[in-house]
Structure 1
Amino acid sequence: MPKLPWKAWYSTARWRALRLAIFLRDLYTCGKCGLIEGNTSLLVCDHINPHRGDERLFWDETNLQTLCKSCHDKLKQAEEQSSLHTRGVWY
């Protein structure tokens, strides 16, 4: 399987700084459930519209939101399940 170059963006100092800036902008508050969480390891800086390797979308602050891990995992799981028919899953 080919290595996806955009995965490395998550390991950069630029991403770490942007992630913290988004948490601060959103006052460490989950955009779905409203939970305020000071422990940033329990928060996710989520792309509202999936970037799918589009560098412009990846770094776009207006495309980022703060979610708690619980909401992020539920949201992303629901999105994955709803898109199964378009991803070529075979039974």
Structure 2
Amino acid sequence: MKFHLRTPSGQEIVDAVDDNVDILIDVEDGRLFSATFFTINNLSTLMRRYRASGECAAGKYVWAKDMIVVESITRATLEVAIDELIRTGEIESCCTRLH
């Protein structure tokens, strides 16, 4: 099934292997989903920051609603992941459906 992905705020990726991004997923059947995609490196970066700031029990954990972890935040990787989530129906479980 075809889809279009976009960032709600025009957010730009600074580092494709150490970043996170909010994505809106417009599916051709009219459904709209939101999710936040993180890289594994970004999770480590966030935990280090949280250790310093004291957030999340001083970096003992990290969480986000609708978190999806990918190897890199490139358009190609996001498209493969989203295509699979739509194909398997998992998009209904791991993303927030907006309509």
Q: How does the TM-score come out when normalised to structure 2?
A: 0.26
- Higher share of residues assigned strand: 2
Q: How does the TM-score come out when normalised to structure 1?
A: 0.28
- Higher share of residues assigned helix: 1
